[in-house]
Amino acid sequence: MFLRSLSVPVTEISGIGASASQKLTRLGIHTIADLLLHYPRDWEDREKIVPLKDYRSGKICTVVTVFAREWIGFGKMRALKIYIEDENTQAALVCFNRPWMDKQIVTGQKYMVCGRFYYKYGELQSSAFEIEVASLGASFGKILPVYPLTAGILQNNMRRFISSAIKKYVNELENELPNEIMEKESLLSKTQALNEIHFPTSADMLEKAKKTLVYEELFYMEVMVLRRAIERKSKIKLELANNESKNENISQLQQSLIERLSFSLTTGQKEAVKEINRDMSSNIPMARLLQGDVGCGKTLVSFLAALRAVEEKGQAAIMAPTELLARQHAENAARLLEPLGINIAFLTGNIKAQGRKELLKNLADGTINIIAGTHALFSKDVEYKNLKLVVIDEQHRFGVTQRSLIMDKGQSAGLLMMSATPIPRTLALTVFGDMDVTVIKDMPAGRKPVITHLAKESNEQKVYDFVRKELEKGRQAYFVYPLIEGGDEIKDAVSMAHRLGKEIFPKQKTALIHSKIPEDEKKQIMDDFRKGKIKILAATSVVEVGVDVPNAACMVIEHAERFGLSALHQLRGRVGRGEEQSYCFLVYSDDLTEEGKTRLKVMLENNDGFVIAEEDLKLRGPGQIAGTEQSGYLVLGIADPIRDMETLEKARNDVFSILENDPDLLLENNRVIARVLEQASPFGEVVFQNLTPISSKKALFVVNDFLKIKSL
């Protein structure tokens, strides 16, 4: 039996009744398989004694004596406070929501305590700790798992539940990888790996268990991606063998638009249009990822692709993650394409009922050729006469569920996904393994690289003085903050908008924009900023994507250390869009660490987004690039494709070798892979490229700042 075949309900485990089962459901745990796949988020090494005086080094694990106790606070805030000491240090345990400890902890008794301590209110204390009577401290001297929890389930409960499940079910489990692979990679058996990941017998065995389970998860992810990639490439090869012509020439409508432009397409844009035309003339629906740095002209390429769809008697939908960006696409499309006789529309969830009804009618009867919008484009009541092309801008901001919904609006519609967030090669091969990838490497002529400066917070007056001179020349500026409002220790957009307009630049009109401002007001502010009526825009990262104001010369990012490098690069890309020199100021905290300064220096020394993305991976390390959680993405249990990139490459090579020689998995050694996929697939019906329906439970993961990792 394979692990995911254990569909027995968790109530079969002693101690899990109806109440505990309901609480476990909040963690996504319904079956024994779910319980065993609930991996620890951390491990506590209780093999070593760490005294209270070494609290700065991490977790404390030591023998203490309780010498006093008292109740503090009132009402719901009332809590027990226990005073402890080891050989040379005293500390306090604050027992929030643990009133039962009053009867368990005895003054004068020795206990083993493990937890994180910090100085607060003039004393060393902890509110996140575990405590056992020293003579009964069975867990000490071991490596203990620390699990993600929910209200009503304690660590000891979870450890007991999982320990029972392991004893009862794990010994019967089969390995899920071919024997040759397990020997080559020196992997543990499935039984041993599960035992050691949850209750390690040593630090060395814990690492072997991690290695085994990470490899296995990435292996099956690659099986799914590469099978689809091989299938797609086989179809393309067959079409080429049948000598079906692929027309990559510029079409009549495309040529009309190019002739209307006041500039020439770059070499990269021309090549991208050729590749898209070749795809769109094929019988196989296009599936292409268009990558390019901020400002390289991807949007214009997407407009040219949309024109090709219209010439083929079809419609195009351009989907953007924010109303601000979607509106900008619609306005630019109207300016460039309506003179060619193309009907453009704009659809978001905020369109009034009467206008929406008329718009949907025109979309359904084909009167509208190209529509730009947000997720509203795939609402149930939205119908297209003949949707031939779906363009998804800033693809990393959409879950695969959302992407598939818009794709389902057309029959065999082509897909063009665009991203200015550079994706490392291995991850691009994995996430978009069955898509063709185009990279625009050059920039439009006449663009000057943005000059970047680093400035300490204590030197920000010099930054303000510099920006003032640029404003006096008639230029405009952005000031970006990490919070909308309510920052106690850091500046926020709301309070700084007031200060910028009243104190720092009283002669210049200042406005505030962030995600909570109503869309109509947001539109008016951006229109006024584009027209030059507003000179200074105080904002959050809502301006990170797609905002295009050529006269904006200065980008000031306060508390720059709180932004990821990719986000900083996107923000910097909002300036430098005209012919004049532009500047970006990264203002950082005076007490920023050397490591933090090293990160910001990457921005100082590089303008290439791909270089910055690679440096970000090196500097920020595994989990720190993860963070923005969005629904509709594949949830990995234990692997992190960024942290585990080496393992990912190994798994990819192993899977490719297997599928190249045995695509149908018929050889005896590979039958286990086929059986796992049939009986207990790790990812259900995940679709990695979006052209067929997907299950609601699992979906695609994305990379860089948008990767969702379940644990580790």
Return the residue matching tokens 């990490």. 482
C-alpha 151 chain-centroid distance: 26
Whether 386 and 511 share a structural domain: no
**How confident is the model at residue 675, as a pLDDT?**
94
Helix, strand or coil for residue 494? helix
C-alpha 560 chain-centroid distance: 19
**How confident is the model at residue 74, as a pLDDT?**
85
Q: Does residue 194 form part of some domain? A: no
CA dist., res. 215 & res. 640, Å (int): 10
> How many C-beta atoms lie closer than 10 Å to residue 12's C-beta?
14
Q: Which residues pair with 287 in a beta bridge?
A: 415
CA dist., res. 279 & res. 240, Å (int): 12
Strands (E), 375-413: 387-392
Residue 701 has pLDDT above 80, yes or no: no
CA distances from 184 to 191, 537, 628 (A): 19, 58, 36
Helix, strand or coil for residue 469? helix
Contact 600, 585 (CB under 8 A): no
Mean pLDDT, to the nearest integer, of 599-627?
Answer: 67
**How confident is the model at residue 594, as a pLDDT?**
82
Among 193-207, 422-436, 534-548, 642-656, which range has the highest average pLDDT?
Answer: 193-207
Whether 261 and 404 share a structural domain: yes
Whether 565 and 513 share a structural domain: yes
Q: Does residue 30 form part of some domain? A: no
Q: Does residue 266 form part of some domain? A: yes
Residue 400 has pLDDT above 60, yes or no: no
**How confident is the model at residue 244, as a pLDDT?**
53
Q: Does residue 79 form part of some domain? A: yes
Calculate ∠ Cα 564-642-322, nearest 5°: 45
Q: Say if residue 531 is exposed, middle or buried (CB neighbours under 10 Å; 0-12, 13-18, 19+).
A: exposed
Per-residue confidence band for 480, with pLDDT thresholds at 50, 70 and 90: very high
Sheet holding 59-72, edge to edge: 118-120, 123-126, 90-95, 79-85, 59-72, 110-116, 129-133
DSSP state of 371: E
Tokens for 512?
Answer: 């505030």
Q: Does residue 27 form part of some domain? A: no
Among 59-63, 338-342, 393-397, which range has the highest average pLDDT?
Answer: 338-342
Residue 690 has pLDDT above 50, yes or no: no
Domain boundary among 606, 635, 660: 606
**How confident is the model at residue 205, as a pLDDT?**
96
% of the chain beyond a pLDDT of 90? 47
Whether 260 and 328 share a structural domain: yes
Residue 302 has pLDDT above 70, yes or no: yes
Whether 407 and 468 share a structural domain: no
Q: Does residue 642 form part of some domain? A: no
Domain boundary among 419, 436, 466: 419
Per-residue confidence band for 628, with pLDDT thresholds at 50, 70 and 90: very low
**How confident is the model at residue 497, as a pLDDT?**
93
Give the chain's domain count.
Answer: 3
Whether 264 and 379 share a structural domain: yes
Q: Does residue 171 form part of some domain? A: no
pLDDT digits (tens, 9 = 90+) for 90-99: 999 999 888 8
Higher pLDDT, 282 or 361: 361
Q: Which residues pair with 72 in a beta bridge?
A: 79
Whether 331 and 398 share a structural domain: yes
Contact 60, 84 (CB under 8 A): no
Q: Does residue 621 form part of some domain? A: no
Mean pLDDT, to the nearest integer, of 653-673?
Answer: 92
Per-residue confidence band for 173, with pLDDT thresholds at 50, 70 and 90: very high
Whether 264 and 396 share a structural domain: yes
Mean pLDDT, rounded, of the chain: 83
**How confident is the model at residue 441, as a pLDDT?**
85
**How confident is the model at residue 86, as a pLDDT?**
92
Mean pLDDT, to the nearest integer, of 576-582?
Answer: 87
**How confident is the model at residue 165, as a pLDDT?**
96
Domain boundary among 132, 156, 189: 132
CATH code of the domain in which 113 resides? 2.40.50.140
Whether 396 and 474 share a structural domain: no
Among 279-283, 386-390, 539-543, 567-571, which range has the highest average pLDDT?
Answer: 386-390
Of 256, 295, 245, 291, which is closest to residue 271 (Cα–Cα)? 291
Whether 487 and 543 share a structural domain: yes
Least confident piece of the model among 186-200, 593-607, 633-647: 633-647
Map 87-139 to HEC letters: CCCEEEEEECCCCCHHHHCCCCCEEEEEEECEEECCEEEECCEEEEEHHHCCC
**How confident is the model at residue 254, as a pLDDT?**
94
Per-residue confidence band for 691, with pLDDT thresholds at 50, 70 and 90: very low
pLDDT digits (tens, 9 = 90+) for 596-612: 888 899 999 988 887 78
pLDDT digits (tens, 9 = 90+) for 101-148: 888 889 999 988 988 899 988 899 999 888 888 765 555 568 889 899
**How confident is the model at residue 428, as a pLDDT?**
64
The type of residue at 71 is: W
CATH code of the domain in which 591 resides? 3.40.50.300
Whether 554 and 484 share a structural domain: yes
Q: Is 341 left (phi over 0), alpha (psi -120 to 50) or beta?
A: left
The type of residue at 554 is: C
Q: What is the pTM of this model?
A: 0.62
The whole domain housing 552 covers 451-606
Whether 356 and 460 share a structural domain: no
